[in-house]
Structures are given as C-alpha cells and as structure tokens.
Amino acid sequence: MKVILNNIIPFGRFGAINLFGVLFAKRTMSLTPEVINHEEIHTRQMRELLYIPFYIVYVLEWSLRLIKNRGNLYRSYREISFEREAYSHGDDLSYLHRRKPYAQWKNTHA
C-alpha cells in the first residue's frame, strides 16, 4: 500500500484515510502494523466493490446510521459495516489471508 504523509489529508480529527488504495496520513500519525492492516482491509473491501460503489455504499450507510443515531457522527461512523469489520480484525495481522469475500456483510466480525 502506498502511504503519503502530509498535513492536509485527512481533514479534521482523523489521522489517516484510504482513498482508492492509497493511504493518506497526517505526519503525526503513528502508522502501526495494526493501523496499516485496518486500511488494507478497507482496500480489499474497495476492490471487491470496484472502488466507486464502495464509496457510494459507505456514504449511504453512514447517512442512514446518522439518522438512526440522531446525529451522532462518531457512533454512526463506527457502525458502518466496513468499519466494523476493519476495527474487529485490525489487530489480527493474518486476517486478510483467510478473509472471505464480502465479509463486511457477514456476521463473522460481530
């Protein structure tokens, strides 16, 4: 995974963002193996959905959860299926070797 350290992307409180398989991280972000693994999980999810549909589903799911959670941005973000999978398995550095396709929509990470 290509990593670009900078002071512009991502915005706000996020330390890193994966855009089309390229990881943009703040210079102050500690890119641990677990953080890299979390982002690699997202890259796998993106590839499965052919990138653009990933972002459409991501934003749609976040928007629906935002309504459900009455505007709670962080809770809505953490409940996105893509994020649930990545956070559940971010510490498991061998996860991607055994991950099944579309695992974000299966109850393997609950």
Residues 64, 105: Cα–Cα separation, whole Å:
16
Global confidence as pTM: 0.93
pLDDT digits (tens, 9 = 90+) for 48-107: 999 999 999 999 999 999 999 999 999 999 999 999 999 999 999 999 999 999 999 986
pLDDT at 109 over 80: no
Q: Which amino acid is at 82?
A: F
Q: What is the pLDDT of residues 30-51, one digit of tens each?
A: 999 999 999 999 999 999 999 9
